[in-house]
Amino acid sequence: MNFLHLLSSEATHSITVHCLNTPMWGLSEAGGQKTSVSFKGWNGQVFKANSLLEPKVLVDECMIQDGSWHKTQFFFHTQDTNQLPVVQVHMLPHLKPGQQHFIESGLVCFL
């Protein structure tokens, strides 16, 4: 990993959270509850909402709580290659009956 970090000038990573009746980012449709997951990068820095390291949200469908599966897609792009890949997901919501989620880590590209 150190070799990739040293030879690259930027990096990207995509993460998709698949969710069933479980909001992941922003306001939920049912009740307006504010929820946001955060992500710990390779070097320990945290990507979270309303910060300098806020991930780009490409799709945010998890706020829809209609009994169907939806997804929220996060995209990380940085010129500090030591920040990626994402190694942990924090602040996942506590699941209630009828709620589920799973995380799909996409490709990490060092450019």
CATH of the domain at 50: 2.60.120.1000
The CB-side HSE value for 84 (13 A sphere, CA atoms) comes to 25
Give the pLDDT mean for 16-36: 75
Residue 15: give the domain boundaries.
2-110
What confidence score (pLDDT) does residue 39 get?
97
The total domain count for the chain is: 1
Provide the mean pLDDT of the chain: 92
pLDDT number for residue 26: 72
Q: Average pLDDT of 81-98?
A: 94
Please name the helix (run of DSSP H) or strand (run of DSSP E) that holds residue 4, with its range, or none.
helix 2-7
The single-letter DSSP state of residue 23 is -
Q: Averaged over 70-96, what is the pLDDT?
A: 95
Instruction: Label residue 27 by pLDDT band (50, 70, 90).
Output: low
Alpha helices in 8-68 (DSSP H): none
Is 110 in contact with 6 (CB distance < 8 Å)? no
pLDDT at 24: 86
Q: What is the C-alpha end-to-end distance of the chain, expressed in Å?
A: 13
Q: At residue 108, does pLDDT exceed 90?
A: yes
- Tally of residues, the chain: 111
Helices (H), 1-111: 2-7
Mean per-residue pLDDT, 26-45: 77
pTM score: 0.90
